[in-house]
Amino acid sequence: MPVISRRGPAPLVLVLTFVASALSLVAAPGRAAAATCEQSVRDVPAPLVNTIPDGSNHQSTVDMPEDGTAVTGVAVAVDLHHANLADLSITLQWFDDAGVASSPEVTLVGLGTLSGANLAGTVLDDAAATSITTGTAPYTGTFRPAQPLSGVVGHIGGKYVLKVEDHVNGDGDSGGVLDDWTLTLRYATCDLDSDAVEDHVDACPGAAGDPATGCPVPVAEVSAAYRRGRFRGVVSSPVAACSVARPVTVWKVRPGPDRALGTRSTRSDGSYRLLRARHPGRYYATVPTLLVPGVADCPSVSSPRFRIR
Tens-digit pLDDT profile for residues 136-145: 999 999 999 9
**77-96 confidence digits (pLDDT tens):** 999 999 999 999 999 999 98
Q: Is the pLDDT of residue 7 over 50?
A: no
Q: Quote the CA–CA distance of 252 and 241 in Å, as a whole number.
A: 27
Asked if the structure places residue 2 within a domain, the reply is: yes
Q: Which residues of 74-93 are buried (b: 16+ CB within 10 A; e: fewer)?
A: bbbbbbbbbebbebbbbbbb
Q: Quote the CA–CA distance of 93 and 116 in Å, as a whole number.
A: 26
**Shared-domain flag, residues 95 and 158:** yes
**Shared-domain flag, residues 231 and 298:** yes
**Shared-domain flag, residues 1 and 123:** no
Residue 61 belongs to domain with CATH number: 2.60.120.260
pLDDT of residue 39: 80
pLDDT of residue 86: 95
**Shared-domain flag, residues 164 and 76:** yes
**185-242 confidence digits (pLDDT tens):** 988 777 778 788 887 788 998 888 988 899 999 999 999 999 999 999 999 999 999 9
Residue 259 belongs to domain with CATH number: 2.60.40.730
Asked if the structure places residue 180 within a domain, the reply is: yes
**Shared-domain flag, residues 273 and 182:** no
Q: What percent of the chain has pLDDT over 70?
A: 86
- Torsion over CA of 113, 119, 124 and 129, rounded to 10 degrees? -70
Q: How confident is the model at residue 8 (pLDDT cuts 50, 70, 90)?
A: very low
pLDDT of residue 4: 45
Residue 194 CA from chain centroid, whole number = 12
Q: Quote the CA–CA distance of 159 and 61 in Å, as a whole number.
A: 6
**Shared-domain flag, residues 147 and 197:** no
pLDDT of residue 21: 24
**Shared-domain flag, residues 98 and 228:** no
**Shared-domain flag, residues 136 and 2:** no
Q: Is the pLDDT of residue 172 over 50?
A: yes
Asked if the structure places residue 215 within a domain, the reply is: no
**Shared-domain flag, residues 99 and 24:** no
Q: Is the pLDDT of residue 147 over 60?
A: yes
pLDDT of residue 10: 33
Asked if the structure places residue 216 within a domain, the reply is: no
**Shared-domain flag, residues 175 and 48:** yes
Rounded alpha-carbon distances, angstroms, from residue 77 to 43, 141, 179, 201, 288: 10, 9, 11, 29, 48
**Shared-domain flag, residues 7 and 95:** no
Q: How confident is the model at residue 119 (pLDDT cuts 50, 70, 90)?
A: very high
Give the residue from 139, 173, 208 where a domain finishes: 208
Q: What are the residues whose beta carbons fall under 8 Å from the beta carbon of 305, sequence distance 6 or more?
A: 253, 282, 283, 284
Q: 105 lies in which domain range?
A: 43-187
pTM of the prediction? 0.59
Count of structural domains within the chain: 3
**Shared-domain flag, residues 48 and 144:** yes
